[in-house]
């Protein structure tokens, strides 16, 4: 311990020096011990005085200059303290600067950002978020977000636990402001809530839907006139024979166009509202029996159309929508199945809900087409689907009608073997028949 | 804010219970706000489907009231809260009653809105209802905000707005009487409009009640049936003496 030894030597030397001065003074005045005591007391007082000054300086070292003790032990101590202090301030400044820049950049973000903890309490938010959500800085830190942002749809989104897709919510039914909310988890229980103003995008989307609905509606009346005249012309007897074939083709095409427009109208009606439809009991068994009869009544149909109704449970939903969805699925199956093939319809329920499946022995669909099948006007084979006269909107209608019922469409297919389209309805959409409940 | 500090409670489970109930109240408030906004929009846009939907969905508000009420009773019975916590529970029980009433008024507006949708729209497209509806909607929103933040000062400010609502109500009433005197054929619709305006005015009163419960929770003082100026002065004096 050379340092400790040196310090001890230093202290001893100082005290001895003070004592020596005391002895000298004592010799001068003739009382040695009083001189020594006085000198030691003075030395002690001097040391304490320096200690008091150091303490005073440490208390407000931000403003005051350090005491000017250049040499000796106290000088060393003060230099050490000043150095430590400077180094600390340097690091602190740097951290503060980084933090400030981080905050400034988050604050300047065009989107609203709210940091939430595991209990949905607000930890921090930026300027935009306070503008969008009407939050007050500092005051609202620590409050639960769902106590301040109370739109029922937002509360549902927050509690749903499924944050892969953003929730687009109309702020007030009275005006056209829409916000998109997206939750992102990070760290331990921390979550980031991003808020964006999507009013413009939503209004464009609404304009697009309105345009399609209006355009289809406007196209319908002139087309009715054309079809009507074609009908009359075809029944005319004095027509030149070389016009017969073009006329027949014109009638086929105008019928097809009518079909497309009808489908567009159905689709735009399905799209015009979102959210779940109200549930009215629909007798699926009876509906499927009618659909089966319709298919068998056609001049060209698969040899076998099998119907299996395994459950008497009713489906809660909108009958018109369900009918157009089921009809499209059954028609597709019939269309793509050769006359020698067969199709099967099946309705059954289990713990997970109700299920409707249509299977056919048609050519099947290649796996790469399946994810895109429900897109509008998506064609697997352009030549063939034109020949069968589809509108290209059937499966889009199915998808939308099912969405409005909280149901999902599952497509399984094997090339050359056939395809199965299954609609899965949630259990809340299934109503067990009353008779069974009474007997059980 | 000395009594409203709910985060430092001795019993953590009790605290969690209280927070959960409070959140449910705010969720109920959000639903009621939406119902009101939808009802007014249904009337102004002549959307009968929306009006019917509002009237139909009132049961959701009622269900929430019952469930929160039960939870409050359970907390009272099992935890026997005192002081500030007791005041919070009492305020919650009162607030949900007011919220339920607001729900009923919104149901009424929705119902009248769906009926008026089939009639010819007046030239001004119910401008005055739109205006009053916006004021009342804002007032309800701010009242619930003060409840969420337990901010008594803001609550007094919001409660003041009830006076604006009352003035608007009287102005529309006078206007309605003029319409009816001008042409007796207006009477039927003017009466319907009057019902709606009356319902909005009542909603303003209920929102004011909620503000008074906030003052009660924070300051432990019942300020119902007291003039707002007196309340303000007294609370200021108490603040000075502290």
pLDDT 10s digits, A31-49: 788 888 888 888 889 888 8
Residues A23 and A161 placed together within one structural domain of the fold: no
**Nearest-CA neighbor of B173 among B187, B188, B193?**
B193
Q: Which residue has the higher pLDDT, A72 or A142?
A: A142
Domain CATH number, residue A235: 1.10.287.130
Pairwise CB contact (< 8 Å): B148 & A172: no
Interface of A with B in 167-226 (CB under 8 A): 172-174
Residues A242 and A344 placed together within one structural domain of the fold: no
Residues A55 and A124 placed together within one structural domain of the fold: no
Q: Among A172, A173, A269, A318, which would you mutate to test the B interface (most chain B Cβ atoms within 10 Å of its Cβ)? A: A173
Closest CB from A139, A150, A174 relative to B27: A150
Q: Rounded to two decimals, what is the model's pTM?
A: 0.66
Q: For residue A340, what pLDDT band results from cuts at 50, 70 and 90?
A: confident
**Nearest-CA neighbor of A130 among A138, A121, A119, A120?**
A138
Strand bridging mode A314-317 / A112-116: unpaired
Residues A163 and A34 placed together within one structural domain of the fold: no
Report pLDDT digits (tens) over A277-329. 877 888 888 899 998 888 888 888 888 888 999 888 888 988 888 998 999 89
Report pLDDT digits (tens) over B210-232. 999 999 988 887 777 777 777 77
Closest CB from B31, B37, B151 relative to A173: B37
Pairwise CB contact (< 8 Å): A150 & B19: no
Residue B1 scores a pLDDT above 80: no
CA B75 to chain centre: 25
Q: Using the 3D structure, point to which of A233, A250, A272 is the last residue of a domain.
A: A272
Is the CB of residue A306 less than 8 Å from the CB of residue A360? Answer: no
What residues of B are in the A interface, CB distance below 8 Å? 7, 19, 22-23, 26-27, 29-31, 33-34, 37-38, 40-41, 44, 50, 130, 133-134, 137, 144-145, 148-149, 151
Pairwise CB contact (< 8 Å): B27 & A155: yes
Q: Quote the CA–CA distance of A387 and B176 in Å, as a whole number.
A: 65
Residues A292 and A428 placed together within one structural domain of the fold: yes
Q: What is the residue whose two structure tokens read 């969720």?
A: B27
Q: Does B12-241 carry CATH code 1.20.58.220?
A: yes
Residues A90 and A141 placed together within one structural domain of the fold: no
Q: Which residue has the higher pLDDT, B185 or B103?
A: B103
Domain carrying residue A66: 2-102
Contacts with B129 from chain A: Cβ below 8 Å: none
Burial of A231 (0-12, 13-18, 19+ CB in 10 A): exposed
Structural tokens at position B225: 């049936």
Residues A90 and A210 placed together within one structural domain of the fold: no
CA distance A177 to chain B (A): 13
Pairwise CB contact (< 8 Å): B27 & A136: no
Q: For residue A2, what pLDDT band results from cuts at 50, 70 and 90?
A: low
Q: What is the residue whose two structure tokens read 């050359």?
A: A416
Report the percentage of chain B scoring pLDDT > 70.
93
Residues A332 and A312 placed together within one structural domain of the fold: yes
Report pLDDT digits (tens) over A48-73. 888 888 888 888 877 777 777 666 77
A367 bridge partner residues? none
Q: Quote the CA–CA distance of A176 and B198 in Å, as a whole number.
A: 27
Backbone angles phi, psi at A281, to 5 degrees: -60, 130
Secondary structure class of A314 (helix, strand, coil): strand
Residues A187 and A212 placed together within one structural domain of the fold: no
In chain B, alpha helices (H) = 12-45, 48-79, 83-116, 127-149, 152-182, 187-219, 228-241
Residue A382 scores a pLDDT above 90: no
A37, HSE (Cβ side, Cα atoms, 13 Å): 4
Q: What is the pLDDT of residue A384?
A: 59
CA A391 to chain centre: 33
| Average pLDDT over every residue of A385-408 | 81
- Return the residue of A nearest to B148 by Cα: A147
Q: ipTM of this predicted complex?
A: 0.80
Residues A306 and A242 placed together within one structural domain of the fold: no
Domain CATH number, residue A407: 3.30.565.10
Q: Which residue has the higher pLDDT, A199 or B1?
A: A199
The residues, ordered by sequence, that sit 6+ positions from B123 with a Cβ below 8 Å of its Cβ are none
Residues A164 and A303 placed together within one structural domain of the fold: no
Q: What is the pLDDT of residue A437?
A: 45
Q: Which of A260-274, B94-108, B225-239 has the highest mean pLDDT?
A: B94-108
Residues A325 and A423 placed together within one structural domain of the fold: yes
Closest CB from B23, B37, B149 relative to A146: B23
When divided into structural domains, chain A yields a total of 4
Is the CB of residue A281 less than 8 Å from the CB of residue A351? Answer: no
Task: Name the residue ranges covered by the structural domains of chain B.
Answer: 12-241
Q: What is the pLDDT of residue A406?
A: 87
């Amino acid at each position: 311990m050379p340092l400790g030894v040196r310090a001890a030597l230093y202290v001893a030397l100082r005290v001895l020096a003070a004592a020596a001065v005391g002895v000298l003074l004592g010799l001068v005045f003739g009382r040695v011990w009083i001189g020594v005591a006085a000198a030691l007391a003075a030395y002690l007082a001097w040391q304490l005085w320096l200690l008091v000054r150091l303490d005073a300086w440490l208390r407000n070292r931000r403003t005051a200059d350090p005491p000017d003790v250049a040499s000796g032990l106290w000088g060393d101590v003060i230099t050490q303290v000043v150095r430590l202090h400077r180094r600390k301030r340097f690091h602190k400044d740097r951290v503060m600067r980084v933090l400030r820049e981080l905050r400034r950049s988050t604050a300047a973000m065009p989107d609203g950002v709210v940091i939430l903890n595991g209990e949905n309490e607000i930890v921090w938010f930026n300027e935009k978020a306070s503008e969008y959500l009407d939050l007050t800085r500092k005051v609202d830190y620590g409050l639960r977000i769902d106590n301040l942002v109370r739109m029922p749809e937002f509360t549902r989104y927050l509690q749903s636990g499924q944050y892969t897709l953003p929730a687009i919510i109309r702020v007030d039914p009275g005006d056209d402001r829409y916000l998109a909310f997206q939750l992102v988890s990070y760290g331990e229980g921390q979550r980031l809530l991003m808020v964006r103003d999507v009013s413009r995008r939503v209004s464009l989307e609404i304009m697009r839907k309105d345009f399609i609905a209006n355009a289809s509606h406007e196209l319908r009346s002139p087309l009715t006139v054309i079809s009507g005249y074609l009908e009359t012309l075809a029944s005319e007897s004095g027509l030149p024979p070389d016009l017969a074939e073009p006329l027949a083709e014109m009638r086929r095409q105008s019928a097809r166009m009518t079909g497309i427009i009808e489908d567009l109208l159905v689709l735009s009606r399905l799209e015009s509202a979102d959210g779940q439809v109200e549930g009215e009991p629909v007798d699926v068994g009876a509906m499927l029996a009618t659909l089966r009869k319709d298919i068998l009544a056609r001049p060209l149909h698969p040899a076998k159309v099998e119907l299996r109704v395994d459950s008497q449970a009713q489906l809660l939903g909108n009958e018109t929508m369900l009918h157009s969805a089921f009809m499209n699925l059954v028609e597709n199956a019939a269309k793509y199945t050769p006359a020698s093939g067969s199709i099967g319809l099946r309705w059954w329920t289990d713990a997970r809900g109700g299920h409707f499946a249509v299977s056919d022995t048609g050519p099947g669909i290649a796996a790469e087409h399946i994810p895109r099948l429900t897109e509008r006007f998506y064609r697997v084979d352009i030549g063939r689907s034109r020949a069968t006269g589809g509108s290209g909107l059937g499966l889009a209608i199915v998808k939308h009608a099912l969405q409005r019922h909280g149901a999902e469409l599952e497509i399984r297919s094997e090339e050359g073997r056939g395809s199965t389209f299954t609609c899965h309805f949630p259990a809340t959409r299934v109503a067990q028949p009353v008779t069974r409940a009474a007997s059980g | 804010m000395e009594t409203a500090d709910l985060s430092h409670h001795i019993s953590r489970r009790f605290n969690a219970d209280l927070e959960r109930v409070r959140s449910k109240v705010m969720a109920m408030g959000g639903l009621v706000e939406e119902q009101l906004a939808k009802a007014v929009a249904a009337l102004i846009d002549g959307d009968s489907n929306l009006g019917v939907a509002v009237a139909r969905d009132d049961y959701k508000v009622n269900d929430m009231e019952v469930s929160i009420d039960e939870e409050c009773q359970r907390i009272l019975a099992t935890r026997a809260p005192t002081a500030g916590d007791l005041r919070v529970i009492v305020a919650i029980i009162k607030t949900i009653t007011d919220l339920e009433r607001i729900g009923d008024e919104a149901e009424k507006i929705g119902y009248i809105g769906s009926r008026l949708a089939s009639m010819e729209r007046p030239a001004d497209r119910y401008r005055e209802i739109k205006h009053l509806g916006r004021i009342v909607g804002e007032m309800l929103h701010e009242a619930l905000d003060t409840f969420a933040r337990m901010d008594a000062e803001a609550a007094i400010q919001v409660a003041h707005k009830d006076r604006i609502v009352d003035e608007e109500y009287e102005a529309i009433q006078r206007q309605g009487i003029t319409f009816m005197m001008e042409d007796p054929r207006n009477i039927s619709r003017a009466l319907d409009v009057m019902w709606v305006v009356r319902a909005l005015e009542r909603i303003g009163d209920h929102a004011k009640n909620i503000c008074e419960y906030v003052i009660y929770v924070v300051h432990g003082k019942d300020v119902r049936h007291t003039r707002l100026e007196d309340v303000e002065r007294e609370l200021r004096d108490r603040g000075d003496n502290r």
